[in-house]
Amino acid sequence: MSPHESAAEAPRPHPVALGTSPLTVDDVVAIARHDAPVILTDAARHQITHTRSVIEALADDAMPHYGISTGFGALATTSIPLEKRAQLQRSLVRSHAAGTGPEVEREVVRALMTLRLATLATGRTGVALTTAEVYADILNAGITPIVHEYGSLGCSGDLAPLAACALTAMGEGEVRDAQGCRRPTAEVLAEAGITPVTLREKEGLALINGTDGMLGMLCLALTDLTHLLRCADITAALSVEGLLGTDRVFAPDLHALRPHPGQAAAAANMAAVLAGSPIRASHDNHACTRVQDAYSLRCAPQVHGAARDTVAHARDVAIRELAAAIDNPVVTLDDRVESNGNFHGAPLGYVLDFLAIAVADVASMSERRTDRFLDPARNHGLPPFLADDPGTDSGHMIAQYTQAAIVSELKRLAVPASVDSIPSSAMQEDHVSMGWSAARKLRRALDGLGRVLAVELLTAARGITVRDPLRPGPAGSAAVDALHVAGWEGAGPDRWLAPQIETAYEVLRSGQLVTAVEEAVGPLR
């Protein structure tokens, strides 16, 4: 799920300062998704100016220095004459802006540029201050470089995507203006009063040699998945309620016996959603002979909790990466210019793939709960497929097909990208991370998870409604009411189902579901 569409509805966040302390995940999301302005601090300006002088001191050196007086990649042994070194940087950007395929989403491009600017602000790259200022001006003007889906191997940085942004700073190529119109870059920069940069020694290399695309998508994914897991706790609890399951398995002392923090949080959320439910209380008697619920009901905290703990691990990786200054070569704290391999995306690629596995499993369990609602052998008194007139009506039969199709796709998207590597640059770059690809498929997976949960939400709401005159608890009532307010027409004869699924998806994606439930039972974990 990518709720960037709702960015315009939110108030413009406070400016984010670059160069004093590392960005947080929330900072990246605020700039990328909600257009928070960026500011270069005085400390950043001072450090950028200082390390630029280090690079300039090497510009006339007879000794070769990678990216300053040599070619790139497999051409690193080629010496570049002094009079061609500015052209070297322009040629680097133009040749590396070689992406193809669909345009990447605006929020991803803004995250990409934000994180490259954050690295420039550390003063470890040797760019000129004016170059960093142009990046800040482009972000603050709402100008978005055209970046394409394919082109990054996730090593030597996200080269093609970052080169597209550098091309914009040079005033070349095409961009989306603040209104979203695709236009020539030079024209849009001129309207915004931004003077394109003239790149000098090392600057082109410094603008393209980072893991910023995959890190930006990780920051956005962490925000989205954290929200989706709260939604999953809610939809799972509503399914337990509608399927006449028990809440005793969510007791804190049971989960303390297996002290995973994510599991405890998920169980607490599900218990809160089920609290005070008349439907739940209706079968708490000797007439109920069931001893245990199915795994998809009983073990939801274990699966959702494992996903939460995976998010926590991925967040730790993101925090460390946000504190990094990634470039090659890099200007060290004692002003040496050293080659290194910090641009390799393996740390990010691994956790991006790990998250995709968790997403697929949470969605798979959600689909199983939906399927139980539709089977009269397992739904404890509900009509087949929750149909109003079974046979004449099909109810939610095909909604489950839609879920199943998405879950199958999520399993394919869970296949790791980071285990693959294709050598490039005449075998100089002979092992790459594919972290960009891992990030791209995770974004698709998150959207799929949101839609799977939306079908479960809609199905659970229908199942609960069909239980009438039994009433759901405060949280269940709030969730059903949120759907009604958004336009859900409730139970009854078959009607066009696709718009109802989209309604449920919007309620879930936008935060309305979590807000409604928290207003009824208090904050969720």
Peptide bond into 383 cis (omega under 30): no
Topology match between the domains 3-210 and 218-283+291-419+433-521: no
Arithmetic mean of pLDDT over the chain: 92
Q: Looking at the predicted structure, is the pLDDT value of residue 132 above 60? A: yes
What pLDDT was estimated at residue 1? 41
Give the amino acid at 276: G
Alpha helices in 467-497 (DSSP H): 474-486
Please write the tens of the pLDDT for every residue from 341-386. Answer: 888 989 999 999 999 999 999 999 999 999 999 999 999 899 999 9
Whole-angstrom distance, CA of residue 202 vs CA of residue 121? 16
List the catalytic residues: 66
CB 235 within 8 A of CB 458: no
Please write the tens of the pLDDT for every residue from 319-344. Answer: 999 999 999 889 999 999 998 988 89
Whole-angstrom distance, CA of residue 210 vs CA of residue 215? 9
3-state secondary structure 31-66: HHHHCCCEEECHHHHHHHHHHHHHHHHHCCCCCCCC
Q: What topology does CATH give the domain 218-283+291-419+433-521? A: Fumarase C; Chain A, domain 2 (1.20.200)
What pLDDT was estimated at residue 62? 64
What pLDDT was estimated at residue 498? 96
Query: What mean pLDDT comes out for the span 8-31?
Result: 87
Please write the tens of the pLDDT for every residue from 414-438. Answer: 999 889 877 777 677 777 888 999 9
Instruction: Give residue 7's pLDDT band: very low, low, confident or very high (50, 70, 90).
Output: very low
What pLDDT was estimated at residue 421? 74
Please write the tens of the pLDDT for every residue from 219-238. Answer: 999 999 999 999 999 999 99
Q: Looking at the predicted structure, is the pLDDT value of residue 74 above 60? A: no
What pLDDT was estimated at residue 157? 82
Give the amino acid at 506: E
Parallel, antiparallel or unpaired: strands 38-40 and 16-18: parallel
Query: What mean pLDDT comes out for the span 121-125?
Result: 95
What pLDDT was estimated at residue 286? 64
174 compared with 58, residue with greater pLDDT: 174
Whole-angstrom distance, CA of residue 162 vs CA of residue 309? 31
Nearest one of 141, 66, 50 to 337, comparing CA atoms: 66
What pLDDT was estimated at residue 10? 55
Nearest one of 351, 356, 350 to 418, comparing CA atoms: 350
Please write the tens of the pLDDT for every residue from 275-315. Answer: 999 988 887 766 666 668 999 999 999 999 999 999 999 99
Whole-angstrom distance, CA of residue 214 vs CA of residue 201? 26
What pLDDT was estimated at residue 341? 87
Instruction: For 198-225, give one letter per residue: b (16+ CB within 10 A) or e.
Output: ebbbbbbbbbbbbbbbbbbbbbbbbbbb
Instruction: For 300-323, give one letter per residue: b (16+ CB within 10 A) or e.
Output: bbbbbbbbbbbbeebbebbeebbe
Q: Where are the domains of the chain?
A: 3-210, 218-283+291-419+433-521
Q: Looking at the predicted structure, is the pLDDT value of residue 72 above 90? A: no
Whole-angstrom distance, CA of residue 219 vs CA of residue 352? 10
Beta bridge partners of 145: 175
Lowest mean pLDDT among 25-29, 87-91, 160-164: 87-91
What pLDDT was estimated at residue 259? 96
Q: Looking at the predicted structure, is the pLDDT value of residue 6 above 90? A: no
What pLDDT was estimated at residue 9? 47
Beta bridge partners of 429: 424
- The vertex-286 CA angle with 283 and 290, nearest 5°, equals 65
What pLDDT was estimated at residue 174? 97
What pLDDT was estimated at residue 395? 93
Please write the tens of the pLDDT for every residue from 473-517. Answer: 999 999 999 999 999 988 999 999 999 999 999 999 999 999 999
Q: CATH number of 3-210: 1.10.275.10, 3.40.50.300, 3.40.50.1000, 1.10.40.60?
A: 1.10.275.10
Residues 6+ apart with CB under 8 A from 405: none
Helix and strand counts by DSSP (H, E) for the chain: 20, 9
What pLDDT was estimated at residue 75? 61
- In whole angstroms, how large is the CA radius of gyration of the chain? 26
